[in-house]
Amino acid sequence: MASLSQEVEPSYMNALPFSLRPVAIELYNYHLLKTVMEVRLGKRPNDLSERFDLSDGQWQEVCDAVIVTKLTQLTLSSQLTPKCAHYLQQLLKQTLGMSERSLDDVYQSVHAQAPALGQWIRRLQKLSSR
């Protein structure tokens, strides 16, 4: 099982345009990962839709940044099941737009600009290879 860590990858949230940051901060601080994933798929709570007038593309951009940030907050332990590790890999690759690439390719693409995410991917790779 995964628990929360103090190490978080800030680069994806920091890369958002200033106009999208308020909704990203709200999603990050006040909503579960599951809810953010649902918002990404178009299932938006009425209160968010009423307060934030974003296009579908903007919602996806915000949710992708929040999902990656929330994933890096998870501490991956040796008790993580292979099924869960595979799910986390798929979620990460889909969120980064790299669904067809290997986890090693994803690592090579992100580790320089997002070191905390790179470390998280390495831990996930180790756990997945057991």
Q: What is the pLDDT of residues 21-70, one digit of tens each?
A: 999 999 999 999 999 999 999 999 999 999 999 999 999 999 999 999 99
Tens digit of pLDDT for each residue in 99-109? 999 999 999 99
Sequence-ordered list of residues with C-beta below 8 angstroms from that of 64, at least 6 positions apart, any chain: 12, 40, 95, 96, 97
Residue 75 structure tokens: 């501490």
